[in-house]
A and B are shown apart, each in its own frame.
Chain A
Amino acid sequence: MSTQMPEVEVLTDFAVREHRSLWLDAWRRLKASRTAMLGLVVVAVFLLSAVGAHFFWNYNAKTDLDYSSKLLPPNLVSTAEKPGVHIFGTDKLGRDIFTRVVHGGWNSLRVGLVAVSISLIIGCLLGLFAGFFESFDMNLKEKLVLMCGLGLVLGLFPAWIARQWYQTLLFGGLGAASVILEKKFAHVKLRPVMFAAAGALLGGLSGLLLAPLVGLVCAVVGLLIGLLLNKPVNGKAFSSITMRVMDILLSFPSYLLAIAIVAFLGPGLEKGMIAIGVVGIPVYARLARSAVLSVSQKEYVLASQSVGEGHGRILFKHVLPNILSPIIVQATMGLASAILSAAALGFLGLGAIPPEPEWGAMLGDSYKFLSSGAWWAVLFPGLAIVFSVLGFNLLGDGLRDALDPKMRIN
């Protein structure tokens, strides 16, 4: 007996390996990848220098001006003939390019971060709900909220025509009624007619109070709304409507829509952030939706559903954590492209308002002086963009491998 004991211990030791979470595992794999760590270091250097410069290195762009030292080439040591150290040289207004590249990082990276946050949060929520309700039936409460909301939104139209805002409430109520009465008149063939008539009456009667023609138009609109509301919208319809709206945004290639939006809004960093963020929404919505669709038929989701967990709990406790990896990878890569878009806006003069430093705007300012041979004024801001974007791309590539559960280290 006593000789058997050690064998058993060896066996159990082998069977139960040290517990590691997915995230710890991923981190180990990330650390093992040299390119990913390079990306992480580059990203960290840029983030730290930008944040550090913003808070601890005083720089006033408005007073930084020195015509006596304009367009000086890089100078590492201060001598009698070449006084002043400018490791990246100076620009057309005699401003030290190194200072402006470091401070410009704050603006460029900030645009990228805020823009990605906007697209990430809105896009993921849309995609989550679209994907979830495509695969799960809505319960009564959710149907009520959806149909009531739909009625309210559609009701805004006749309400606006007749300037009778209470009409939205009437149509909201019609939406709710459609859900509550779903079972009752399910077999009645006249159900669509009933709802159309109800809609026409609601709109028409209130419109008549204003003018006969208003009443007529409101009745027609109400009739159409009634027809739409007669059958409660299911999750699939909700999902396909959301995705169609995303398709419209996606028909403008990459940053073109952002350029157009800011062209009309007028230049400014904040406007750029919002424009780039809005343009990025569909990418995350599509990604989140397809990830939810692939996860929602998994056993653990079905199990949590069968023990009677609520939809909110299933969505945020079981589905969301399991679709995080592709979203994290996309967000990292998305940061890279958001920085590029921000630089493009800046270059076109639609980003930071001068003299505020920003990498793209610095390039846009200086490239016209190229023929005079001032290569340093365009080389260094450009390199800053290239390296920061490359850093995020390397990190994203590494994360993709690290977060892939198929590549788990045993």
Chain B
Amino acid sequence: MAKYILQRLISVIPTLIGVTLVIFLFQRLIPGDPAVAMLGEHATEENVARIREQFGLNRPAFLDRDALVEGDLPGFFDSQYVRYFNRLLQFDLGDSIHRRIPVAETLKERFPATLELALLSMFFALLIGIPVGIASASRRNSWLDGTTMIGSLLGVSIPIFWLGIMEIMLFSVFLKWLPSGSRLSPGVSITPITNLLLLDSLLTGNFAGFWDAFKHIIMPAVALATIPTAIITRMTRSSMLDVLQEDYIRTAAAKGLPERVVLYRHALKNAFLPVITIIGIQVGTLLAGAVLTETIFSWPGIGKWVYDSILGRDYPIVQGVTLLIAVIFLFVNLLVDISYALLDPRISYD
């Protein structure tokens, strides 16, 4: 088992290097002189020089073959990519071009907002998706099943940013029930512990703060949760349908066990593995979807930050956030793989 986990961990390394390579290559996609593209055409000489230095743009991209001809072996390896990779190993994601502060610092500051949003969305998705999927599988072809299937198809067909806009229109503009934008109303404060506001307010017993934070997060969380909810529902349903045809389910029902026990004890346990895979993939959907949802709701997380940075051509930020999301996604899927080995005794991984 430990050997399997170690093996999987090692197998991630080439993929990780590939990911850094792809993200490094992004900056080669910038048309024209990258330094000028980042700063705009009216940039001062000094700023252009600073950017060239930061990105090592005066060095070759991968290897310096001219250094080799001159007999300089260390110079051969001194390149943009090697420098970039070295900095990454020290958790240095570079500096923001416009604000000139380290990307990693702001990332740490803004990530909790995105994490809170994603966690709450995933919570909603599981809370709705799994029971509804089970119910609709156990009553196949009923009106409930039909509604679920249509609903889940609709869920994957609605652009989340449009759903967010519609929510704001209905609940903020017309009904004026919920606030839109930012995480808290002005004047409300919550003592930071984990920087997950809902959690912090509960930990400090600040219920007024909790209610305010909840009113702010509910609309973006619902918008972000639509696709995962729809997909988890569909997957739970189809996986349960497969399992419910098995003999042991018929046996369990035949010996008079209540339906609830058959469904949750006997069927769900066996139907859950494919659902876990889908949940892992949905973490990615949530993180990518955060760019759109946070933009609509002016949510101060990393998604909104990416959007602002795209507009401002602050490329190190786009690179840094993309890398962070890809790494999180990779490790979540690794966890899913490992959980397979733990949960399914039929599969041996030696």
Residue positions of A touching B, CB distance < 8 A:
160-163, 210-214, 217, 244-245, 247-249, 251-257, 259-261, 263-266, 336, 340, 343-344, 347-350, 360, 363, 367, 370-371, 373, 375, 378-379, 382, 385-386, 389-390, 393-394, 397
Contact of B284 among A254, A344, A386, A394 (CB under 8 A): A254
Contact B326 A251 (CB under 8 A): yes
Contact A251 B29 (CB under 8 A): no
A253 to B324, CA, bound (A): 11
Contact A161 B63 (CB under 8 A): yes
Contact of B310 among A263, A343, A393 (CB under 8 A): A263
A232 to B19, CA, bound (A): 28
A-side interface mostly: helix
Is B124 on the interface with A (CB-CB < 8 A)? no
List, in ascending order, chain A residues with CB within 8 A of B22's CB: 248-249, 252, 257
25 contacts across the A-B interface (CB closer than 8 A)? A161-B68, A244-B14, A248-B22, A249-B22, A251-B18, A251-B19, A251-B326, A253-B281, A254-B288, A256-B287, A256-B288, A256-B291, A259-B306, A260-B319, A348-B295, A349-B311, A350-B310, A367-B165, A375-B169, A378-B162, A378-B165, A378-B169, A382-B166, A386-B159, A390-B157
Residue of B nearest to A381 (CB): B162
Contact B159 A340 (CB under 8 A): yes
Contact A264 B315 (CB under 8 A): yes
List, in ascending order, chain A residues with CB within 8 A of B159's CB: 340, 343-344, 347, 360, 363, 382, 385-386, 389
A161 to B63, CA, bound (A): 8
List, in ascending order, chain B residues with CB within 8 A of A256's CB: 284, 287-288, 291, 322, 325-326
A47 to B323, CA, bound (A): 37
Contact of B165 among A253, A266, A382 (CB under 8 A): A382
Partner-binding segment picked from B48-56, B69-77, B250-258: B69-77
Contact A251 B157 (CB under 8 A): no
Residue of A nearest to B163 (CB): A382
List, in ascending order, chain B residues with CB within 8 A of A370's CB: 165, 168-169, 173
List, in ascending order, chain B residues with CB within 8 A of A371's CB: 173
Contact A213 B73 (CB under 8 A): yes
8 Å CB interface, B291-342 against A: 291-292, 295-296, 306-307, 310-311, 315, 318-319, 322, 325-326, 329-330
B-side interface mostly: helix
Contact B68 A214 (CB under 8 A): yes
Contact B318 A264 (CB under 8 A): yes
Residue positions of B touching A, CB distance < 8 A:
14-15, 18-19, 22-23, 26-27, 29-31, 63, 65, 68-73, 76, 153-154, 156-159, 161-162, 165-166, 168-169, 173-174, 281, 283-285, 287-289, 291-292, 295-296, 306-307, 310-311, 315, 318-319, 322, 325-326, 329-330
List, in ascending order, chain B residues with CB within 8 A of A253's CB: 281, 283-285, 287-288, 325-326, 329
Contact of B162 among A161, A210, A385, A394 (CB under 8 A): A385
With contact pairs A217-B76, A251-B326, A378-B165 given, residues A347 and B292 touching in the complex (Cβ less than 8 Å): yes
A178 to B288, CA, bound (A): 46
With contact pairs A251-B330, A367-B296, A370-B168 given, residues A213 and B153 touching in the complex (Cβ less than 8 Å): no
Contact B322 A260 (CB under 8 A): yes
Residue of A nearest to B23 (CB): A260
A207 to B123, CA, bound (A): 61
A253 to B325, CA, bound (A): 8
Contact B157 A248 (CB under 8 A): no
A336 to B157, CA, bound (A): 7
Residue of A nearest to B315 (CB): A264
Contact B287 A390 (CB under 8 A): no
Tell me the smallest distance from the CB of B302 to a CB of chain A, in Å. Answer: 11
Contact B68 A260 (CB under 8 A): no
List, in ascending order, chain A residues with CB within 8 A of B326's CB: 251-253, 256
Contact B18 A347 (CB under 8 A): no
A390 to B159, CA, bound (A): 11
A256 to B319, CA, bound (A): 11
List, in ascending order, chain A residues with CB within 8 A of B162's CB: 343, 363, 378, 382, 385-386
List, in ascending order, chain A residues with CB within 8 A of B295's CB: 348
A160 to B65, CA, bound (A): 8
A349 to B322, CA, bound (A): 18
A379 to B327, CA, bound (A): 36
A192 to B178, CA, bound (A): 71
Nearest first, the 3 A-B pairs at minimum CB distance are A253-B284, A248-B18, A382-B162
Contact B307 A348 (CB under 8 A): yes
Tell me the smallest distance from the CB of B223 to a CB of chain A, in Å. Answer: 12
Tell me the smallest distance from the CB of B280 to a CB of chain A, in Å. Answer: 10
Contact A394 B153 (CB under 8 A): yes
Contact B154 A260 (CB under 8 A): no
Contact A363 B161 (CB under 8 A): yes
Residue of B nearest to A349 (CB): B311
List, in ascending order, chain A residues with CB within 8 A of B287's CB: 253, 256
Beyond known contacts A244-B18, A390-B157: 13 more, CB 8 A cutoff: A213-B73, A217-B68, A251-B18, A251-B326, A256-B326, A257-B22, A260-B318, A260-B319, A343-B159, A348-B292, A382-B159, A389-B159, A393-B156
